[in-house]
A = this chain, B = another copy of it.
Amino acid sequence: MVNYSTSEENYLKAIYRLNGAEATVSTNDLAQELQTKPASVTDMMKKLKAKKLLHYQPYQGFRLTAEGTKVALGIIRRHRLWEFFLAEKLRFTWDEVHEVAEDLEHVCNKKLIDRLDEYLGFPRVDPHGDPIPDMNGKMEVSKKICLSDLPLNSTAQVISVSDHSSDILELLEHMHIHIGTRLEVRKRFSFDDSMEIKAGRQAAFTISRQLSETIFVHFV
C-alpha cells in the first residue's frame, strides 16, 4: 500500500469525476476542475503516469489505470464516510460537510476508515445521496433519472442532488424535499420548462427547470 500526496489524491479524484462523462480527460478540463493551470496538470500527469496510476501519451488526454481507479475510489470512500459522520453525528448541515471532508479525506489509514464505516453502520450513501464505496472499493451505481426527464404521473423517490451548495439546500428545505422524498410530476410548462410536482403529502407546487435538473430520482 503506497501513500500518495494530498495533491496527487486531488488530481486522481478529479480525473475520476470527469472520467464519468468522457472516456478520456483533457488537460484543460482538469485544470479548470482543479482551479489550476494546464502546465501544472501536465507536470502532474507525467508523475502519475510514472506511478502507473494513469494512461497518458502527450497530447492524447488521459484516463485512470485499474490501480488509479482503485486509489480514487478509496479517496471517495473516505470523503463520503466523513461527510456522513459530520452530518449524522456532528449535526453539520448538508452544505457544510463537503469542505471539511476535503481535508479529512487525505488522512489515509485503512483501520481508521474501516472502523469509522462500521461505527456509522455501513452507510450506503452520503448526505447528498451519492453512493459510498465499500471496503473493497465496490460502489453500487444505481441508475438514476434526472427529475427533469421523469415521465408524468409516475411516482419516484429522490436519491441524490448534484449541487451541494447552501443555496439549493435552503430551497429544498423550504420545499420539504430531502433524500428519500417521494414525488411525482403533474405537469410541464414549455414556456420556462418549469414543472408542477406533488411531493409527500404536500399540495402540488411548481419548481424551476434549474432545480429539476439538479434532482435525481429513481422509480419506487
Cβ of A119 within 8 Å of any chain B Cβ, yes or no, is: yes
Cβ of A107 within 8 Å of any chain B Cβ, yes or no, is: yes
Least CB distance from A130 to B in Å reads 21
Cβ of A207 within 8 Å of any chain B Cβ, yes or no, is: no
Cβ of A103 within 8 Å of any chain B Cβ, yes or no, is: yes
- Beta-carbon contact of A90 and B112 below 8 Å: yes
| Chain A 62-93 interface mask (CB, 8 Å, partner B; 1/0) | 00000000000000000000000010011110
Cβ of A116 within 8 Å of any chain B Cβ, yes or no, is: yes
Least CB distance from A103 to B in Å reads 5
Cβ of A109 within 8 Å of any chain B Cβ, yes or no, is: yes
Chain A contributes a number of interface residues (CB within 8 A of B) equal to: 18
- Beta-carbon contact of A86 and B112 below 8 Å: yes
- Beta-carbon contact of B103 and A115 below 8 Å: no
Q: Which of A102-138 contact B (CB under 8 A)?
A: 103-104, 107-109, 111-112, 115-116, 119
- Beta-carbon contact of B115 and A90 below 8 Å: yes
| Beta-carbon nearest neighbor of A99 in chain B | B109
Cβ of A100 within 8 Å of any chain B Cβ, yes or no, is: yes
- CB neighbours (8 Å) of A109 from chain B are 99-100, 103
